[in-house]
Amino acid sequence: MPRSIREAILYYDHVAWYYLNTQWHNSFLDRVEPFLRNQWFWAPLYLFLLLFMTGKFGRKGWLWCVFFIVSFIIADQVSATFMKPCFHRVRPCNNPVLASIIHLIVPCGGGYSFPSSHAANHFAMGIFTAMTLGRLATWVWPAAILWAVIVAMAQVYVGVHYPLDVTCGALLGAMIGVGTGMVFNRYFPLNSGTKS
């Protein structure tokens, strides 16, 4: 049994990873999950948001797109440039101890594992979207969070991250999304009316 809080967290993180990656997989998810974590798979969604926001809200729609991208950039830089080099956590797919059991279905890649930049980026964009558009349509909140969760959990399923990586990445991204959402709502609030 783990003797410290840190050991306990890492122990249960590895247990959760073991089930999510090596036990609870099937041929259907093996085909689907790699697409869900691929940024190009979501390109139609980004194009739709660009066209919808600029078409419906005009100048504020363009500003919304800028804030959406800024949310992504901040999350990506904080997670990948500042945090990962500090923690030096090896990805499960690069861990020789797990080589015989890991269910790896995408290229592992280099770099460190903690926190997940995929999770941070998508939660930043998702929460920003929910905070700004959720005021106009309540369904945006669950849809945006579900989108971010799907992308984050795919990272564990394909074998490139641990659950703790995506959980902390999600928390980081959520905080950034809240911050950019609050700034946008304060200075450029959207209304359900026409272009401005």
Give 192's pLDDT tier (boundaries 50, 70, 90). low
pLDDT attached to residue 39: 81
**Span 43-85, pLDDT tens digits:** 999 999 999 999 999 999 999 999 999 999 999 999 999 999 9
pLDDT attached to residue 111: 84
For residue 194, pLDDT beyond 70: no
pLDDT attached to residue 132: 96
Mean per-residue pLDDT of the chain:
92
Q: Which domains does the chain have, with CATH numbers?
A: 5-187 (1.10.606.20)
Q: Cα-Cα-Cα-Cα dihedral of 164, 144, 155, 83, to 10°?
A: -50
**Span 10-36, pLDDT tens digits:** 999 999 999 999 999 899 999 999 999
Q: How far apart are CA 123 and CA 125, in angstroms?
A: 5
Q: Pick 149 or 193 by higher pLDDT.
A: 149
Give 196's pLDDT tier (boundaries 50, 70, 90). low
Q: What is the mean pLDDT of residues 116-126?
A: 96
